[in-house]
Structure 1
Amino acid sequence: MDLHDIHREFEAYLDAMNLATILVPKSYRDGKIQIFSLETPHKERHPLQIERQIDLGSSMKYECIIDIPIEIGKRYLIYDHQGGVTDLQIGAVVRTVPFDDKFFYDGDLGVAYTQEQTTFKVWAPTATEAKVKLIDPKTKKADYIPLERLEKGVWTATVFGDMEGIYYTYVVCVNAVWREAVDPYAVAVSVNGEYGVIIDLAKTRIEKPSVPPLSSPTDAIIYEMHIRDFTIHPESGIMHKGKYLGLTELETKGPNNTTTGLSYLKELGVTHVELLPFNDFAGVDERHPLQQYNWGYNPLHHNAPEGSYATDPNDPYARIRELKQAIHTLQAQGIRVIMDVVYNHVYMREQSSFEKIVPGYYFRYDAYGNPANGTGVGNDIASERKMVRKWIVDSVRFWVEEYHVDGFRFDLMGILDIETMKAVREMLDTLDPSILVLGEGWDLPTPLLSEQKATMQNAEKLPRIAYFNDYFRDSVKGSTFHLYDRGFALGDFNDREKVKVGISGSVRKKHGLFLHPTQTINYVESHDNHTFWDKMEIANGHEDEQTRKKRQKLATAIVLLSQGIPFLHSGQEFYRTKQGVENSYNAPDSINQIDWKRKSEHEDDVRYVQGLIQLRKSHRAFRFTTEAEINNHLFFLETPAFIIAYHLRDVQQYGPWRDIIVIHHNQEEKQSVFLPDEEEWHVICDGIHSGTILLFSGHKQINLAGIGTWVLVKQT
């Protein structure tokens, strides 16, 4: 009997390797069945033992034990005692450990291209048939090539001849339904990601330039930016506005001859740029990219670049070559590139390649069989399953080996499991231990045991991964979610002790969460939520602009001079505003673009941040790598509540000065701070100037002229 001829009077699902769940509607024989039997692909019949019956109201549920091994991928039928028949569909068995163990495959997947032949491999263990569909991009004529099933649920075919430029998809039959899907391992796609494309990646390869050494993660100064935002402003002076190639243009100038683009990044002195997602995403029509805007957290294809940033989204090579050129050029200018990766969810579960090829496997489900939604976007990737973990590790490896990226920022990393993140870190360490891994370690409601989640609370289990530190953020700025709440930099001092924990690298001995300062990402602003400036418009609206600018400089100084890894949001250094828009993920360019005119109006403030970056780089006492160093050298001074002052003591082995004092003051009233000895101290940073040049000297005490940061040093 052909499966497609079956009219399912009742339904049967394989929910474990030895368990069939049979649902019989009461409209069929009142739902009452005495005996079920299983017919194998060889036409042998075996009686099933009914373990449990459950009345579901409109139907009866029968749980039946299967006492013969089931070959997944073959067709089985279930008969009732009166000859009624249905097919045994694949159910929750895909989410069991025995299934995972049986079908785990550790080899290559995707397309292997040569001029002579192309080999396709796709993992589809629950499919009963599978084909690769080859489409001529010019004529749209399609050929279907049957795939052969190998061990571990892998299907393959080799097609002879030069297939370069041909579009392809997989067509698989699961539970008697044919579905068409783009290869989850596709490395090139057609416009809007409609098809995978067979290409010769070797044609796009370029050598990675040498980058400045990174001896510790705390040597990194991360600058987060969106490819389109950074260059799209009408006065950016950049030719390829909003494109990958916009990041390759040097010596560009904006209003009032201000430096823009790549040359500005170099001038600023940051070590890493963190680029919002640039894998292929939904939300922008690549044929008309300027008609829509998106941050990029709607992943479609994780191993192919986004086309809206390419000069020609119709040419599958253009986006690859241009992205590689952008990364290469940044690195050639001494700037490493961190990729923002979104492995925690897909854009739409039902339409995703994962769900079409192996339904039910790649996502988490709750106890009632509903898709989990810890991410808030309708699906949670089940990273704890072996082939999901393999896909994530393979993908990260691909971006390092093929595009030479220098780090990964894991979106909603707390959704992922610890074992997967460990596997990622261990794999990267075999390639280049200086590759950074950082992520959002929020604890989200996904059906995974809390001790298995890659959350900030479990940081000790992932010592080589860094976490966005929301305690640092909120104690300096005030709550991100309560706009009127003010942190230390906004003039409050209730969270003063928490700020001191943050300054100390949030290590355990200083009442923080982390084993080492290399685990904390210190920040007060990112692409998410209100910009610092927009929050202050509300929380500190009673103050004039000049005072608020001092507060923002104070907050940025706290970020750059604290122990840990500093992180700046692009434009933070010149008071970036999104006109009060909190979540600008799809807001127009007028809201999201970097405003180079605004930068030109705040050159002194930009120079101040530049000076702080230079100061951080000049002395390793700002960049300790261990908890022990912090305990041995960092001491807080006794000061009034609106001042935080600390002494980096006996640090001559780390740089040019023996002792350093940093003072953060959050009130406009003038104040004096007594120095810890009577020796001469040299001021290198005050509320207006920063850097490594001596501004003036003093003894015994220093006068603070309002809100700001002061740094004093003692020569060796």
Structure 2
Amino acid sequence: MNSNYINAVSLTELYTGKDLGLQYGTLSSVFKVWAPSAFSVAVVVYETGGAESAAGPAGTVEDHGHVNLMRRNDNGVWQAEVAGDLKGKYYMYRAVYADGSMEEAADPYARAVSANGVRTAIVDLRDTDPEHWEQDVSPSLPHPADAVIYELHVRDFSAHQSSGMRYKGKFKAFTETGLRDAAGNMIGIDHLAELGITHVHLMPVFDYQTVDELNRPEAERPEAYYTDYNWGYDPQHYNVPEGSYSTDASDPGLRIREFKEMVQALHSQGIAVIMDVVYNHTYAVEKGPFEPLAPDYFYRRDYTGRLSNGSGVGNELATERPMVRKYIKDSLAYWATEYHIDGFRFDLMGLMDSVTMREITEELRLEVNPELLLYGEPWTGGDSPLATKTLKGVQRGKGYAVFNDNFRSAIKGDSDGWGRGFITGEHGREGAIASGIMGAIHDFTESPVETVNYVTAHDNLNLWDKLLAVQGLRQQARFPVMENGRLKDGGSVEAAVAAADPYVGVDPEHVLDNEIVRRSLLASGIILASQGIPFLNAGDELLRSKYGDHNSYRSSDAINAIRWSGKQVFQPVFRYYKGLIELRRAHPAFRLHGRQEIERSLQFLRCEGGVVSYMLKDHAGGDSWQHIVVIFNANTQPVIQDLTGVSGSWNVVVDHSGAGTEVLRRVEGQQVELEGLSMMVLYDRSSEPGPRAKVIEVHYERPDGQYQGWNLWVWGTGIQDGQNDFRQMEDGRAVARIEVLPDTQSIGYLLRLNDWEEKDGEGDRFIDCSSDDELIRVLVRDRESSEDGTVGDSLQLTS
């Protein structure tokens, strides 16, 4: 292979078409693959999937395949049309290079594969659609601030015996409704709907490498398949569902159908689906999805020519290169259209260049779904030569969000050790808590929906186990010492887990009186009452423990599975979470949309001595409650909060005893007392509904039809000034929606390309929004459409 091949790729070898891979037809199928450095390429059609033997690699079964030579186009794409109905067969690409070497590999654009991803499968995707799939509709997300995200691993959801599910560890477990525990509590998908979350964030569900999909005994597995369980951050085939979550991995179409059934079931409960995607590295390089057919192109290298390792696992994808960027955008668009996926979380997003992230956001929303939710990790796993990393702050005004680890650390302390934060007893974190409550708008965001607020995720100790560690109770809880999915000193993980007591000291009759329970509720309460997008880790509402395993990516179900029996034992905790989510979703004051809106509506009352309190005032966000006061007390002793000058009569809806929208008790006077390690939410009893924001809908028309990169720069909205993206196409025009205060008379705007690379027209322009209409529609044409060559003033359309 030519290690300097990357330098030889010319612009003529870049392909912009959207038809790479297999285009299946009943009379013939067309195959296209980008392999610009190959001397010749053939598509080899096989009768079998090549995974029937224990050894696993292609070609071990007596199936030599039918070789079909491909024709090379000028842009590096090889193409062949093969006659006949090939459904049910398999194929590989066989590339020969100038040095005489030959590689046979699966299609990088594979949409279906045999067991363990050995060969690309030929399926008719319409055969994989569940009944009524064409009527499946994604739940509406009017604004990103409305989301409440719940991170979940497919296997963890159903693997435990207490789930009562038939399809344990499978996609189909999400289709099982009507399940109850012995006490009548809803479990499974009904539990998710009852909890009130809006989005399930599924940890990787694309085809990954390390779990043997044929479920062979450990002694018979190939070395590559070393475990029964994995989180899935080891990509193999990016556009295919993971086979170990299917009821029959040897049936290429079944995993697709069952994945769609899962999405359909969640949508039917009003829950959107977010995919955790890993476009920063692959599990393997030489035997991975890209290197055999495009050697030395897809992977980033350091100044010595070696593979760079910003992922920490040996390689990183060169997202800044045009065909890598194209692959990622094609892949995301495919999941969003074929599988009705509603959003994406980007693993190690710091390793993805900022231009790729910007184009992903603009194009997917404009061309696929304007309500897609996009967010990621703004860090890397190690050093990388990439100059344009997508780190915290890069996302400002770009339409996607990043995880707020500043807020996370301020709330709980470090992730795996004894380090303390606000809720674990360290004073001095109050300012950082206040910054997080405001959506980090004075830290690294332009608007609150650019931050994902969380206290724990799948990585590191989960919330309950972190709190036990801080309190010095790990030994008393008899937690096993885990290492790479096994007991460090050997023995049975199942027996060690059975001997553990993660809820030491918790009285089932008085759960909410327990100190650690109170700290956990305070942590999640801060997240759910803050501006931005809240993110919960599955099972926190059941006080889930993973028995002190801080890196359970390859540990067994005994460690990872959600124990549904916890719902009855910790019913007050579940009701508290449910009540907080209900409160957030019912009251827009907790879901403000913009920087200016927060600065005007959120006033801090106290921020010292282990107490943070603030008021959401004057019908914030159009809320029906005039003034809302939120208080967090991280002290073990009660505190008094002064309410002088606001009101003398308050309704309490959240305190140490419960949470929700119903009044728990009334408070009269200018002070209120709240217990130690608790939160309180109370509102002014004299409340009446507040005015709603107006919306200006801008329709932008360009004769060339090229809208990529164009956006509005707006000011004077009173809610969120700055960049405003076009989110959808309507009648050939790009459409953006701008929220303004109800009494706004006019706003200013400019049309610009990306970050001021070009402007459409000269001078400031204005939109009259003095009417009482809640929706004002205007048409803006580009300068070439105007007689004098400048952008004309906006033309009002029919409301």
Query: Which of the five TM-score ranges fits, normalised by the shorter chain?
Result: 0.7 to 0.9
Q: CA deviation at 1:352?
A: 0.7
The alignment status of 1:231 with 2:158, answered yes or no, reads yes
Q: CA deviation at 1:173?
A: 1.5
Q: CA deviation at 1:639?
A: 5.4
Distance 2:135 2:263 in 1: 9
CA RMSD of aligned residues (A): 1.6
Cα deviations by residue, 1:314-359 (Å, 9 ceiling, x for unpaired) = 1111100000010011011100000011110001112113111111
- Are residues 314 and 212 of structure 1, via their aligned partners in 2, closer, same or farther at CA, if it must alter by over 3 Å? closer
Match of 1:130 among 36, 41, 58: 41
Distance 1:449 1:342 in 2: 17
Question: Is the 2:128–2:254 contact (alpha carbons within 8 Å) kept by the matching residues of 1?
Answer: no
Q: Aligned AA for 2:674?
A: L
Cα deviations by residue, 1:395-446 (Å, 9 ceiling, x for unpaired) = 0000011000000001111100011111111121122111001100115545
Regions of 4+ moved over 6 Å:
none
Q: CA deviation at 1:199?
A: 0.8
Name the structure 2 match of 1:646.
614
Once the two structures are superposed, the pairs formed by residues 493-642 of structure 1 within 5 Å of their partners are 493-508=427-442, 512-541=443-472, 545=506, 546-638=514-606, 640-642=608-610
Give the unaligned 5+ runs of structure 2: 50-61, 218-226, 474-503, 507-513, 689-799
Name the structure 1 match of 2:412.
477
Cα deviations by residue, 1:637-678 (Å, 9 ceiling, x for unpaired) = 035411110000102652220010000011221221111334
Once the two structures are superposed, the pairs formed by residues 251-400 of structure 1 within 5 Å of their partners are 251-288=178-215, 292-400=228-336
Question: Is the 2:230–2:553 contact (alpha carbons within 8 Å) kept by the matching residues of 1?
Answer: yes
Match of 2:372 among 429, 435, 441: 435
Cα deviations by residue, 1:608-644 (Å, 9 ceiling, x for unpaired) = 0000000001111100110001100001103541111
Distance 1:487 1:312 in 2: 46
Question: Is the 1:208–1:328 contact (alpha carbons within 8 Å) kept by the matching residues of 2?
Answer: no
Q: Aligned AA for 1:486?
A: R
Three-state SS of the structure 2 residue aligned to 1:423 is helix
Distance 2:606 2:101 in 1: 72
Question: Is the 1:218–1:623 contact (alpha carbons within 8 Å) kept by the matching residues of 2?
Answer: yes
Question: Is the 2:20–2:32 contact (alpha carbons within 8 Å) kept by the matching residues of 1?
Answer: yes
Name the structure 2 match of 1:204.
128
Distance 1:579 1:129 in 2: 54
Distance 1:695 1:323 in 2: 43
Match of 1:183 among 78, 85, 107: 107
- Are residues 428 and 323 of structure 1, via their aligned partners in 2, closer, same or farther at CA, if it must alter by over 3 Å? same
Match of 1:685 among 651, 654, 664: 654
Identical pairs, percent: 40
Q: CA deviation at 1:254?
A: 2.8
Question: Is the 2:246–2:254 contact (alpha carbons within 8 Å) kept by the matching residues of 1?
Answer: yes
Q: CA deviation at 1:91?
A: 3.1
The alignment status of 1:465 with 2:400, answered yes or no, reads yes
Name the structure 1 match of 2:167.
240
Q: CA deviation at 1:679?
A: 2.2
Question: Is the 1:292–1:588 contact (alpha carbons within 8 Å) kept by the matching residues of 2?
Answer: yes
Name the structure 2 match of 1:44.
none
Distance 1:595 1:468 in 2: 27
- Are residues 494 and 544 of structure 1, via their aligned partners in 2, closer, same or farther at CA, if it must alter by over 3 Å? farther
Q: CA deviation at 1:282?
A: 1.1
Q: CA deviation at 1:297?
A: 0.6
Question: Is the 1:571–1:594 contact (alpha carbons within 8 Å) kept by the matching residues of 2?
Answer: yes
Question: Is the 2:312–2:382 contact (alpha carbons within 8 Å) kept by the matching residues of 1?
Answer: no
TM-score (norm 1): 0.84
Three-state SS of the structure 2 residue aligned to 1:349 is coil
Match of 1:114 among 12, 17, 25: 25
Name the structure 1 match of 2:676.
706
- Are residues 394 and 116 of structure 1, via their aligned partners in 2, closer, same or farther at CA, if it must alter by over 3 Å? same
Q: Aligned AA for 1:202?
A: R
Q: Aligned AA for 1:209?
A: D
Question: Is the 1:578–1:591 contact (alpha carbons within 8 Å) kept by the matching residues of 2?
Answer: yes
Question: Based on CA coordinates, which of the two structures has the bigger radius of gyration?
Answer: 1
Question: Is the 1:228–1:243 contact (alpha carbons within 8 Å) kept by the matching residues of 2?
Answer: yes
Distance 2:521 2:291 in 1: 48
Q: Aligned AA for 1:711?
A: V
- Are residues 652 and 305 of structure 1, via their aligned partners in 2, closer, same or farther at CA, if it must alter by over 3 Å? closer
Three-state SS of the structure 2 residue aligned to 1:507 is coil
Distance 2:470 2:570 in 1: 22
- Are residues 639 and 114 of structure 1, via their aligned partners in 2, closer, same or farther at CA, if it must alter by over 3 Å? closer
Once the two structures are superposed, the pairs formed by residues 13-24 of structure 1 within 5 Å of their partners are none
Once the two structures are superposed, the pairs formed by residues 55-70 of structure 1 within 5 Å of their partners are none
Q: Aligned AA for 1:518?
A: V
Higher helix share: 1
Name the structure 2 match of 1:414.
350
Q: Bigger CA drift: 374-383 or 127-136?
A: 127-136
Q: Aligned AA for 1:373?
A: N
Cα deviations by residue, 1:88-115 (Å, 9 ceiling, x for unpaired) = x633131x3x625231101120001100
Give the unaligned 5+ runs of structure 1: 1-88
Distance 1:526 1:331 in 2: 23
Question: Is the 1:683–1:712 contact (alpha carbons within 8 Å) kept by the matching residues of 2?
Answer: yes
Three-state SS of the structure 2 residue aligned to 1:361 is coil
Three-state SS of the structure 2 residue aligned to 1:267 is helix
Q: CA deviation at 1:141?
A: 4.2
Q: CA deviation at 1:576?
A: 1.3
Cα deviations by residue, 1:249-289 (Å, 9 ceiling, x for unpaired) = 11112353332110000000000000011110011111118
The alignment status of 1:145 with 2:68, answered yes or no, reads yes
TM-score (norm 2): 0.76
